């Protein structure tokens, strides 16, 4: 059954009639603790919202949380949906456009990723400067809704330079390292082979994961500015002797989350001051 954005928003507005967000946050594997910092939260399960659905992956709670972070109104997606779960592109579109329709101007997209650089190890945060979409689709394929965005959208500054500058200053103030890098998005759910990682390094990638790129494409299409932050959970296949597991992703995601729970609220406060 096709669900309109109006139906989706009508349900959300039953829970939060007057809430208007300034910023959105999408939380990846092991990063859900950031949502717990929101004050006066309104929590809605994805399953309760027409057009959305619960994820099936451990570490993703599938909750829409509306609240305040450093007194800034925020819409938080606690848990993301992945294409490898078999979700439709329409559901992914809804998931991103809800953030826009709640009033947000920007979205902070986080995700767990493997590092392709030995000097950036597990537990670090990488600031994304660009991406390579290596998934076999683009979320904008099909009918284009001109009320949302144009048929063709430029991606030159997809990871907003001004927002990256703010994040860099904030990280320096917190005495955090914040290496920059390019994210390559693969479909999954299998982890990459060592040969694939060698190929991705040749292409210019610094981190690899199974999300982010489609969400960034959709965010830019509907006019959201994007800040991308990756929690590094491991060195990619072939770069260490460590066996890659989802449990390891969650473990090191939680370590990185301790940094993000300081970085993201401080970024939001600094960003709001300039608006």
Question: Whose CA is closest to 93, among 144, 54, 55?
Answer: 144
- What is d(CA 87, CA 91) in angstroms, rounded to the nearest whole number? 7
* Superfamily, domain 7-138+152-245: Nucleoside phosphorylase domain (3.40.50.1580)
Report the b/e string of 246-256 with b at 16+ CB within 10 A: bebbbebbbeb
Residues 83-98 have pLDDT tens digits of 998 888 889 999 999 9
pTM: 0.93
Residue 33 DSSP symbol: G
Rounded CA gap, 63 and 52, in Å? 10
d(CA 138, CA 26): 19
d(CA 176, CA 259): 8
The helix (H) or strand (E) run that includes residue 64 is strand 63-69
Give bridge partners of residue 76 from the DSSP assignment.
25, 65
State the DSSP H helix or E strand holding residue 150, giving kind and residue range, or none if neither. Answer: none
The number of C-alpha atoms within 13 Å of 138 and in the hemisphere containing its C-beta is 14
Task: Map tokens 């986080």 to a residue.
Answer: 110
Q: Which residues are catalytic?
A: 29, 60, 82, 84-85, 112, 210-211, 234, 246
Q: Mind listing the pLDDT tens digit for each residue in 12-55?
A: 999 999 999 999 999 976 677 888 899 999 999 999 999 987 65
Residues of the chain with confidence (pLDDT) below 70 = 1, 29-30, 54-60, 241, 244-246, 248-250, 253, 275
Phi/psi of residue 133, each to 5°? -85, 100
| Annotated domain spans of the chain | 7-138+152-245
Q: What's the confidence (pLDDT) of residue 19?
A: 97
């Amino acid at each position: 059954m096709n669900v309109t954005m109006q139906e989706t928003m009508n349900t959300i507005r039953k829970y939060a009639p007057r809430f208007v967000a300034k910023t959105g946050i999408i939380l990846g594997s092991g990063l859900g603790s950031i949502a717990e910092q929101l004050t006066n939260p309104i929590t809605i399960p994805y399953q309760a919202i027409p057009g959305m659905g619960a994820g099936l992956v451990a570490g993703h709670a599938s909750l829409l949380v509306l609240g305040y972070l450093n007194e800034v109104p925020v819409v938080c997606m606690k848990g993301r949906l992945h294409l490898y779960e078999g979700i439709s592109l329409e559901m992914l579109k809804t998931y991103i456009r809800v953030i826009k329709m709640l009033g947000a101007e920007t979205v902070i997209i986080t995700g767990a990723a493997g590092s392709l650089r030995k000097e950036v190890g597990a537990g670090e945060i990488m600031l994304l400067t660009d991406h390579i979409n290596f998934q076999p689709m683009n979320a904008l394929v099909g009918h284009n809704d001109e009320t949302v965005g144009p048929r063709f959208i430029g991606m030159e500054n997809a990871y907003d330079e001004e927002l990256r500058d703010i994040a860099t200053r904030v990280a320096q103030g917190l005495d955090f390292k914040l290496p920059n890098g390019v994210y390559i998005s693969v479909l999954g759910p299998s982890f990459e082979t060592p040969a694939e990682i060698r190929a991705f390094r040749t292409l210019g990638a610094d981190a690899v994961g199974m999300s982010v790129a489609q969400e960034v494409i959709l965010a830019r299409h509907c006019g959201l500015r994007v800040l991308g932050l990756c929690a590094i959970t491991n060195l990619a296949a072939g770069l260490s002797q460590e066996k890659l597991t989802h449990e390891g992703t969650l473990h090191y995601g939680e370590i990185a989350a301790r940094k993000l729970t300081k970085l993201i609220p401080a970024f939001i406060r600094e960003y709001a001051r300039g608006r």
